[in-house]
Structure 1
């Protein structure tokens, strides 16, 4: 099969690789649609953000299959001992993080505390390929009516759901979202449909600010203006109850100035190891700094974050398609998709460039 292979930072190309086979508890999925994340693009380029040292160590040993955790596809084969409920031919996406199942935390039924989880595309090959092997337990069936394009965009929405759960946004809370990119718009939609009160969004791009407005923001602020003044004016000088920092471009200090005393900042952006942080201000104002979890999550016995995200899209409560402006065809288009996603402003992209590998409706 064909897959993206990284031979060095900034040196990625589609090459022929061995066909995958499922081991015990694993599934092989034919990839119908995949989209790069901004984090993956930054790591592939060699930027020193989280996971950089892990990827560098892997590269030191030779070429690496890296990236591809936001995807949708069709189950091609199942290994022995796979859990029930998933069958060959099912349309699925997959939770990107899988606890090891063996450590002390997992044995105590706390997979969120697992010290060495497998992360699709990061600790092993992902869906930047025609086929991908995943733990069968991470598969999530895609309901009828959801397209492959929408299903491939579910993981970031699940991340937004985790962010709001971490912040425990209460009915009527004022929310500021810094950044009107993919995560900013998704957090705006989750806030709007989750009972938040005043929802404010700041962003640079006029097109993305318009998306934030359509997503339900009450106040949209040009990032070139005085965002702090606008937020304080809208909240009668108090500041936002909850701030989601989703810009990642030196806006941590802005978040600290815009949050109320005793409020919460949720760091959505992936920052460098030594990014400056206004810790003295956070301490003086008793501001909580949170980082949302990744993976399936468990907020209800009947649903995980991915299932809930799919329901939100199926009901029309959240629109992920509005963020998809560039779609390419064929696995060979993966390097172009990475370039577009890495520099969305240059290409006029609203979100990640998706790559369609096959039409799962015609293949049914």
Structure 2
């Protein structure tokens, strides 16, 4: 089969590789649609974000396969599925105590094992999530960021009427705005640099949209009567080379949140990014990081199932973020280029690649 292979940072090509050899309790999925994440694009380019050192060590040992955790595909029986990217090991002390979220060495699709930047991918059976009727392969491939937004709102304990500030109107910002609107949040404020993304934020349910070039702190204080936001989701920060806002957004979040409020760090900042710890301590602000994976907030459903349910019901619109679709596994390098530099290509979200059977795409 054909798959993306990294030979070095900034050097990824599509090549012939062996078909996946599933182990016990694994299944092979024919990839129908895959989209790169911004984090994957940064790591492939060599940016010093989380997992950079691990990937560097792998590359030092030779070519490696990396990336491809946001996807949908078909099982041998033709059913459309996606898969949770993070799988606990199942054997450590935490897993034996039914605390997979505390597993010290979970497997991560596309990171610790080959992902869906390929024609086919092997995943653990326990990671497979059926896609409900009415949800396309394209929509299902975009479900992982939405599941991440659900995790962020869960850890922030957004309560009915809470004022929410979302820094950034990219994919995660728009998804957080939609989750906030359907989750009973009060005043929803979103910042954005481009007019197109600010328009998306309004359509997603934002009450107040602020140009990121303006005085965001002053605008937030005005909108909240001088109190500040109850919860701030920081989705804009990251490497400027990837079209992100650098590291100053964490300081902005610390100034815009109310005393004893909560900040959720959604963005992936450089490992040595400065943090306004003194200001956070002085104002008794909680700094939170959302978990990844299926989650366990309800015994009857995980974050992926709930995210797919929101899409199927029409409560969350992921199609508005999909502006570029390419065909065939050989288009993966182009999809990486578009996703890493969305502004130059006029893209609002990751470029999707349709591979093989489109299923219900």
The question of 1:65 aligning with 2:70 is answered no
What TM-score do you get using the length of structure 2 for normalisation? 0.96
Measured in 2, the distance between the counterparts of 1:284 and 1:234 equals 23
Within 5 Å, which residues of 2 pair with 1:1-364?
Answer: 1-76=1-76, 88-248=77-237, 249=245, 250-361=248-359
Measured in 2, the distance between the counterparts of 1:266 and 1:5 equals 34
Measured in 1, the distance between the counterparts of 2:322 and 2:210 equals 23
Measured in 2, the distance between the counterparts of 1:358 and 1:159 equals 27
Give how far 1:157 is off: 0.1
Measured in 2, the distance between the counterparts of 1:110 and 1:177 equals 30
Q: Which residue of 2 aligns with 1:80?
A: none
Give how far 1:170 is off: 0.2
What TM-score do you get using the length of structure 1 for normalisation? 0.96
Contact 2:33–2:358 (CA under 8 A) maintained in structure 1: no
* Distance of aligned partners of 1:361 and 1:74 in 2 relative to their CA distance in 1, 3 Å threshold: closer
Measured in 2, the distance between the counterparts of 1:361 and 1:72 equals 9
Measured in 2, the distance between the counterparts of 1:30 and 1:359 equals 8
Measured in 2, the distance between the counterparts of 1:98 and 1:346 equals 35
Deviations 1:64-98, CA, capped at 9 Å, x for gaps: 1000000000013xxxxxxxxxxx32210000000
Contact 2:80–2:359 (CA under 8 A) maintained in structure 1: no
Contact 2:236–2:249 (CA under 8 A) maintained in structure 1: yes
Measured in 1, the distance between the counterparts of 2:19 and 2:83 equals 19
Give how far 1:362 is off: 7.5
Give how far 1:22 is off: 1.5
Matched residue SS, 1:251: helix
Give how far 1:359 is off: 3.9
Matched residue SS, 2:81: strand
Q: CA RMSD in A?
A: 0.9
Measured in 1, the distance between the counterparts of 2:151 and 2:20 equals 31
Measured in 2, the distance between the counterparts of 1:108 and 1:66 equals 31
Matched residue SS, 2:330: helix
Measured in 1, the distance between the counterparts of 2:353 and 2:272 equals 34
Measured in 1, the distance between the counterparts of 2:78 and 2:23 equals 18
Matched residue SS, 2:75: strand
Matched residue SS, 1:93: strand
Gaps of 5+ in 2: 238-244
Measured in 1, the distance between the counterparts of 2:54 and 2:357 equals 35
Measured in 2, the distance between the counterparts of 1:198 and 1:241 equals 10
Gaps of 5+ in 1: 77-87
Give how far 1:320 is off: 0.5
Measured in 2, the distance between the counterparts of 1:345 and 1:264 equals 30
Deviations 1:192-215, CA, capped at 9 Å, x for gaps: 000000000001011010000000
* Distance of aligned partners of 1:362 and 1:135 in 2 relative to their CA distance in 1, 3 Å threshold: closer
Q: Which residue of 2 aligns with 1:84?
A: none
